[in-house]
């Protein structure tokens, strides 16, 4: 009998928040619109320029739109995958 792992979006978001640093790339699950205008595409990597956290429930990665050039705030819930920066310093 196979036991399926229960998905927990809160744990996934927290994992992404602590694992992803500035310079890494994130890939979002769905196209992202601001005021009915497409600003980010699903499946495309976007470099994390910064991270902000005003409290434990209000955190976001900041990326630049390849369509409009504007800075976009992405909540960890929207992340599908990520790519570590190959130049990321290692912690030993």
Cα 57 to Cα 67: distance, rounded to the nearest angstrom:
28
Predicted pLDDT at 34: 93
- More confident call, 1 vs 67: 67
**Whether residue 27 has pLDDT greater than 80:** yes
State mean pLDDT over 8-36: 87
Most confident of the following: 7-11, 51-55, 85-89: 51-55
Nearest Cα residue to 43 out of 30, 25, 34 = 30
Q: Find out whether 44 and 66 touch, Cβ atoms under 8 Å.
A: yes
- More confident call, 1 vs 16: 16
Tokens of 31: 């196209």
Contacts 24+ apart (CB under 8 A), 15-18: 16/76, 16/79, 16/82, 17/51, 17/53, 17/59, 17/76
Domains of the chain: 9-83 (2.30.30)
pTM, 2 dp: 0.80
Predicted pLDDT at 1: 41
């Amino acid at each position: 009998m196979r036991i399926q792992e229960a998905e927990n979006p809160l744990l996934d978001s927290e994992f992404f928040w602590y694992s992803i640093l500035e310079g890494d790339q994130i890939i979002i699950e769905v196209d992202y619109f601001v005021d009915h205008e497409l600003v980010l595409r699903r499946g495309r990597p976007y470099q994390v320029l910064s991270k902000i956290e005003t409290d434990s429930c209000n955190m976001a990665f900041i990326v630049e739109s390849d369509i409009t050039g504007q800075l976009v705030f992405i909540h960890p819930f929207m992340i599908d995958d990520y790519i570590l920066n190959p130049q990321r310093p290692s912690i030993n």
